[in-house]
Amino acid sequence: MTIGVACQRMLIRSDPLLRLEARALFECASDVFRHSEKSLFNDRDQMSKTRKPLSALVIGSGLIGVASAYFLRKRGFTVTVVDRQAAPGLETSFANGSLQTPSMAEPWNTPGCWRTLLRSIGRQDSAMQLRLRALPGLARWGIDFLRNSAPEIYRNSIQSNLRLALFSQSVMSELQRDTRIEYGRSAVGSLRVFRDSESFRRARAAAASLAGAGLRFRVLPSEKAVEFEPALQPIRSELAGAIHYGSDETGNAYKFCASLADRAMKDGVEFRFGSTVSVLELSADRIEAVVVGGERLIADRYVVAAGSHSRRLLKTVGLDLPVQPVKGYSITFDKSANPSRLRIPIVDDDLHAAIVPLEGMMRVAGTAEFAGHDLTLRPARIANLNDLLRRVLPDTKFDPSKAIPWCGLRPVSVDGVPVIGPTPISNLFVNTGHGHLGWTLAAGSGELLANLVARIASPIATAPFEFARFAATRSTTATYT
Ligand SMILES: Cc1cc2nc3c(=O)[nH]c(=O)nc-3n(C[C@H](O)[C@H](O)[C@H](O)COP(=O)(O)OP(=O)(O)OC[C@H]3O[C@@H](n4cnc5c(N)ncnc54)[C@H](O)[C@@H]3O)c2cc1C
């Protein structure tokens, strides 16, 4: 056992004295410090000098901010979470698709995705949509998004996301054992159905290539798919086949987020709601404070987990985080309006959307719209989701007027892989860019982030998620708008 691993085990134990001792010892174990040459680690550790716990301030109380805060607290930090909303999880983490899907580790910039995007301009019914109005704000990000669709980068991105997704599942199991949080978890997997034989062939090959990395799946001809999920009987003749992904799970992300925040609060994390951070104050190479209204909030470490707004915040200190909002919609039929007996979540590959049974409710989620930070609920997009539901479950009578519509902004990075860890500013960290996988990756990302802030080695490599992977990360400062 290396000193690093021994220290890690001691640090995870709850005895604060043991933790301090372990930290001092850990300082010596340079073999496990990936970043030992960086300014972050040249910065003398205040905790070992003063024997006082370090403080961390997390901006954002969505899934990612709350998971970060929970694990930072577990690592011994004094933690404050700041959010502009009145409660946790009220933005993108609110009514998402509810799927935890290692099976969807692939980023959206698939090789050749530019054709799909160009075809979408002006169309209301396409799953991926580019609004002309959003183009100027997307210029550089858009070019990098397409550049990152090169096959080799794309393959590496899938591997990184899959590793984090599977790690996240193990973190989630431990977290559930520790906290007993109830969030409507279901582990029946998901069923991806294909109407086109070429897409089905490609998906089988893609799944087979990931089996070695831990993806569990089973290919089903259409008759077996219908046996597996009888609700698909009416569209059996339209199906080319299906894949059952046994690694996938479902759960109510909002319920989890709110319950974990509650638990973190009981563990001593302070939450300050209704507080919008307008500026990060930079002095030399450190953040001195964050400004909320007229107040300056001071901490030893700062974590930006503000979802698709993270980029704007980082701009105030001259950092260029290549993450853009991509809008998605969901509709939810509550228990009284859900006549379906769907057993397992269905992902329709051609229609690019998911239909998910969730604690007696039914949620349909999908669509990707490049439209800036616009949160207008467009009737045509909601009609699309209702239409999709009819095309997958034609015999089930859903009343569209009972559908509860919602939209949110996925924080999408240029390579489709989240950004977790240190920034070029010594005491500033980020945890964002999770795109369509924020619920899938939340627990693992929270733990990785906390380990990086606490300088503890992690069970999976953190290099693929580094901010430093983006060549140009510094730009001029801008005001937060
Ligand atoms: C339609 C749709 C379906 C989806 N389905 C799935 C799915 O099935 N599975 C999956 O894994 N993922 C899914 N996702 C993605 C997932 O929901 C997101 O990746 C995840 O919610 C992002 O979490 P977050 O904490 O980064 O952001 P958010 O939840 O948006 O949290 C950011 C927080 O930061 C706060 N904030 C922002 N700016 C400031 C500021 N200046 N000051 C103070 N606070 C600030 C906000 O108020 C917010 O609470 C879906 C997304 C959408 C839109």
User: Across the 481 residues of the chain, what is the mean pLDDT of every consecutive 10-residue run?
Assistant: 38 38 35 34 47 93 98 98 98 98 93 69 64 72 89 95 98 97 97 96 97 97 97 97 98 98 98 98 96 97 98 96 96 95 94 93 93 93 94 94 97 97 97 98 98 97 96 62 60
Ligand 1 touching residue 439 (CB < 6 A): yes
Distance, CA 439 to ligand 1 centroid (Å)?
9
HSE, CB side, 13 Å, CA atoms: give it for residue 422: 22
Residue 95 phi/psi, 5° resolution?
-135, 50
Pairing type for strands 346-348 and 190-194 reads: parallel
- Predicted pLDDT at 15: 38
> In 3-state terms, what secondary structure has residue 296?
strand
* Residue bearing the CA closest to ligand 1, atom 4: 96
The residues pairing with 287 across neighbouring beta strands, listed in sequence order, are 282
Q: Who contacts 378 (Cβ-Cβ below 8 Å, separation ≥6)? A: none
Q: What is the CA(387)–ligand 1 centre distance, in A?
A: 26
Ligand 1 nearest atom to the CA of residue 60, by list position: 34
- From the CB of 108, is ligand 1 less than 6 Å away? no
From CA 237, how far away is CA 342, in angstroms rounded?
Answer: 19
Ligand 1 within 6 A of CB of 59:
yes
- Map residue 285 onto helix, strand or coil: coil
Q: Is 408's C-beta closer than 6 angstroms to any atom of ligand 1?
A: yes
Which domains are seen in the chain, by residue range? 3-91+265-318+417-469 (3.50.50.60), 100-254+324-413 (3.30.9.10)
- Strand partners for 333: 362
Q: Give this prediction's pTM.
A: 0.88
Pocket probe mutation, ligand 1, options 309, 329, 346, 358, max atoms within 8 Å of Cβ: 309
Distance of CA 58 to the CA centre of its chain: 16
- The residue nearest atom 13 of ligand 1, judged by CA position, is 436
Selection from 414, 427, 411 nearest residue 469 by Cα: 414
What separation in Å is there between the alpha carbon of 410 and the centre of ligand 1? 6
CB 89 within 8 A of CB 442: no
The residues pairing with 419 across neighbouring beta strands, listed in sequence order, are 432
The reply to whether ligand 1 has any atom less than 6 angstroms from the CB of 277 is yes
Q: Is 378 in the pocket of ligand 1 (CB under 6 A)?
A: no
For residue 64, the CA-to-ligand 1 centroid distance in Å is 8
How many Å lie between the centroid of ligand 1 and the Cα of residue 257? 11
- The alpha carbon of 92 and the centre of ligand 1 are apart by a number of angstroms equal to 3
Is residue 444 lining ligand 1, measured as CB closer than 6 Å? no
Among 277, 388, 299, smallest CA distance to 53 is for 299
Paired with 347 in beta bridges are 192, 354
Nearest atom in ligand 1 to the alpha carbon of residue 432 is 26
**pLDDT of the residue at 49:** 54
